[in-house]
Amino acid sequence: MIDYRRLRIALLGAGSVGSQVARLLLEQRTELADRAGADLELVGIAVRDVNAPRDTELPRELFTTDAAALIHGADIVIELMGGLEPARELILEAINSGADVVTGNKALLATSGPEIFEAAEQVGASVSYEAAVAGAIPIIRPLRDSLAGDRVKRIMGIVNGTTNYILDRMDTEGADFDAVLADAQRLGYAEADPTGDVEGFDAAQKAAILASLAFHTAVPLESVHREGITTVTASMIEAARHAGFVIKLLAVAERMDTDGQESISVRVYPALVPREHPLASVHGANNAVFVEAEAAGPLMFYGAGAGGVQTASAVLGDVVSAARRHIAGGVGVGESTRANLPILPIGAVTTRYQITLEVTDQPGVLATVASILSDGGVSVATVEQTVVDGAGTARIVIGTHTAREEDLSSTVQRLSASDVVRAVSSVLRVEGE
Amino acid sequence: MIDYRRLRIALLGAGSVGSQVARLLLEQRTELADRAGADLELVGIAVRDVNAPRDTELPRELFTTDAAALIHGADIVIELMGGLEPARELILEAINSGADVVTGNKALLATSGPEIFEAAEQVGASVSYEAAVAGAIPIIRPLRDSLAGDRVKRIMGIVNGTTNYILDRMDTEGADFDAVLADAQRLGYAEADPTGDVEGFDAAQKAAILASLAFHTAVPLESVHREGITTVTASMIEAARHAGFVIKLLAVAERMDTDGQESISVRVYPALVPREHPLASVHGANNAVFVEAEAAGPLMFYGAGAGGVQTASAVLGDVVSAARRHIAGGVGVGESTRANLPILPIGAVTTRYQITLEVTDQPGVLATVASILSDGGVSVATVEQTVVDGAGTARIVIGTHTAREEDLSSTVQRLSASDVVRAVSSVLRVEGE
């Protein structure tokens, strides 16, 4: 074996991803050394409880509760403990003690990313986080490096496996949200408290990270418009199918040009996606990120979005890259946020919409609905009216041309208040056409 | 504007990709500077004929025929002239004069890759080549960095747009190879001399590059088994469809374990791919690379495989990354070929096969065929016999279990020589099951 320089690796956290990272570092040490050009020595694993049960058998002597002491003297610190604190504090400590950092902490990056990247730039450390978005799928590095010479126009991502699993089963089985969620919880695809996933919080964090990278602009989590999938019903999915769409929870980050002023929009919501779009065939708990760049055209990255060992692959890729950099010398490459584009509020965003109304089935109703839309500045592209029942209810499904969200939303309010409209059944955006 | 350090960029070649790279470097200079943290100054473009017509209007004063002089003093040299010489010599010159190199020259890398990487490692220069495989699709960097901590088990790539375009149209239209090829040539999807594409030479070069990266092993072009698509007929495609497959020209690079001895196999051939496999829905001239890694599981990278501006995106990503490295200091990261796995000859490779025979329609034929197969060590998984015509010909389609290529091929010879077999219509491998 070649006598490689030894690099000290400190691991914070030994959950489902952390324990797999530790196992692979130990089991594949020789192979990883050949790849990295450095011997990666796992010097310790900081956990809250040394005696807690782990997914993998790991040497007891590696465990410690003293994260701060472990960080001291480490060349590379892997943070997989999750949560905001003490993760933030420990990462800053690692950076300031001269270590490179690898993290999978999307919540932290979406919240304190700029502070962390700033600290790293000051001392020339690198911060890598391939594991923070879309699990095993390489998407951070392609955006950061491969597309660095291109202009990203739009990203549409299925970045939350739980919600894609639920929507996919609703689509395949015609089942209702609550039933599928309960089953997903039973099977381990959804957590006991599913809020973070089904309300889009997890996807919003990832959207903020992707948008920051793609548009070289710090995107605070608060500027990400977020809607979850709890309002999606079996009949909405059925109606979407009828119209040639599938409903997906999308994280959309888009470069927009309003009157010559460039800006970006970052949003998470369930959207209608045409069945022939590559994202429509992303099934189960898989993730995919669809990127449209000015020169490169459309690209798609597809794979497992979660899972301990899958995500560990992304972490180790970052560790090996950090090790190579360590050996090669030089300082880490900072995050480029120099474009600093303004972020549009959701009201100013334009998309196509599909509006489903239950109306009284009588002459003149369509004319009334049409004039409310046109008065509101919402232009109709397609319309389909069907009789629902014998009780005088008809359904009108309206596909709009591109409309501004604030126009659309005040128009929907006026529709809702109209005498002829019994109910606004759904309002969904259309993406990927 | 920030006062960035200036880096001198020399461009060799101004074909369809080179002229787009030059245009983007000039047009987006400010934006690229913000991304790279360095001002990328295109100092010159070396071409054979300064007065030749170009795809894009570029300043005349940038052009020169003196490539060697242009290289001297450049920080980054972009080689897009293609061909083996003088590209090889100029790249070595660039490396030795202290420049980082970006190239899209797959033929050169597949032939002289080890020599070039060795020279770069000696002086600490970087050599990047995202544009060499699958055009705009980021695949080199994901394999080199993102999956650096994982073990790639298999790569299956649709890496040649021309052949995918032809096979896709044959599949959709039921047309014959010659007709579609002629049309593809008329439309610019195939060259006047299509040999490099349709005989798999181009795909073989890319397979060698992907395999070298994925398995950390220098893979000489000669060790890549190569078959083209000229023998694929409309009736083979029809039969494939009937059996639930589509025929794709695949570049396959696989890690194999024979009696505990690890080795790899690299091969290019038209193969049967199940219709539900993600690669089956890659249409037209698009490319996709499907990667199976031990920890990450299946991943797919999809996008445009060719085109001047698309490929320019990949080149510029490499240029910005090289510039960042230049600014950050440190030496380039060398290619890791330390695993150095043995490369299996095609005879030792095992896959499933589908064999189509025209036989005399008489009692005992199936028994004869079955015994030839079993004597040859080829185990039958499925068999379907149908009557072809009234002239006493029947068709037998045999799906085998996994068999060794050399066993299969000698068995097919014996089948071919048998009295009851009128013709061996096709022998196709099955991949992606």
Q: Does the pLDDT of residue A373 top 90, yes or no?
A: yes
Please tell me the predicted confidence (pLDDT) of residue A200: 97
pLDDT band at B35 (very low <50, low <70, confident <90, very high): confident
Same domain, A370 and A313: no
- Which of B149, B294, B301 shows the shortest C-beta gap to A317? B149
Residue of A21, A117, A145 to mutate, interface with B, max B Cβ within 10 Å: A145
Residue of A313, A326, A338 to mutate, interface with B, max B Cβ within 10 Å: A313
Same domain, B235 and B357: no
Same domain, B183 and B320: no
For chain B, positions 90-109, list CB contacts with chain A under 8 A. none
**What does the block give as tokens for B402?**
């996994």
Pairing of strands B286-293, A261-274: unpaired
Q: Identify all chain B residues contacting A146, using CB atoms and an 8 Å cutoff.
A: 130, 138, 141, 314, 317
**Whether A129 contacts A140, CB under 8 Å:** yes
Euclidean distance between CA atoms A200 and B320, whole angstroms: 34
- B417 at the A interface (CB within 8 A)? no
Same domain, A231 and A284: yes
- A305 at the B interface (CB within 8 A)? no
Q: Does the pLDDT of residue B331 top 70, yes or no?
A: no
Q: What is the CATH number of the domain that holds A172?
A: 3.30.360.10
Q: Give the residue numbers spanning the domain of B213.
A: 140-304
Do residue B328 and residue A332 have CB atoms under 8 angstroms apart? yes
pLDDT band at B390 (very low <50, low <70, confident <90, very high): confident
Q: Å from A367 to nearest chain B CA?
A: 43
Residue B30 CB burial class (10 angstroms; 0-12, 13-18, ≥19): exposed
Please tell me the predicted confidence (pLDDT) of residue A389: 73
pLDDT band at B137 (very low <50, low <70, confident <90, very high): very high
Euclidean distance between CA atoms B38 and B206, whole angstroms: 32
Euclidean distance between CA atoms B315 and B301, whole angstroms: 17
User: Does A184 reside within a domain?
Assistant: yes
What region, left, alpha or beta, does residue B409 occupy, with left being phi > 0 and alpha being psi -120 to 50 degrees?
alpha
User: Does A340 reside within a domain?
Assistant: no
Please tell me the predicted confidence (pLDDT) of residue B335: 63
- A295 at the B interface (CB within 8 A)? yes
Chain B: residue whose CA lies nearest to A136: B296
User: Does B39 reside within a domain?
Assistant: yes
Choose the catalytic residue: B106, B153, B206, B248: B206
Chain B: residue whose CA lies nearest to A290: B302
User: In 3-state terms, what secondary structure has residue B284?
Assistant: coil
Q: What is the CATH number of the domain that holds B424?
A: 3.30.70.260
Mean pLDDT to the nearest integer, A245-265: 92
- A412 CA to centre of own chain: 28
Please tell me the predicted confidence (pLDDT) of residue B150: 92
For the residues of B200-264, what is the DSSP string, one character each? Answer: SHHHHHHHHHHHHHHHTS---GGGSEE--STT--HHHHHHHHHTTEEEEEEEEEEEEEETTEEEE
Q: Does the pLDDT of residue B359 top 60, yes or no?
A: yes
> Which residues is A268 bridged to in the sheet?
A226, A251
User: Does B412 reside within a domain?
Assistant: yes
Q: What is the CATH number of the domain that holds B101?
A: 3.40.50.720
Which element (helix H / strand E) includes B94?
A: helix B87-96
Q: Identify all chain B residues contacting A297, using CB atoms and an 8 Å cutoff.
A: 136, 303-304, 307, 310
The fraction of chain B above a pLDDT of 90, given in percent, is: 79
- A156 at the B interface (CB within 8 A)? no
Please tell me the predicted confidence (pLDDT) of residue A1: 57
Same domain, A109 and A173: no
Annotated catalytic, B206?
yes
- Which of A32, A149, A338 shows the shortest C-beta gap to B149? A32
Same domain, B268 and B367: no
User: Does A11 reside within a domain?
Assistant: yes
Same domain, B264 and B144: yes
Domain count, chain B: 3
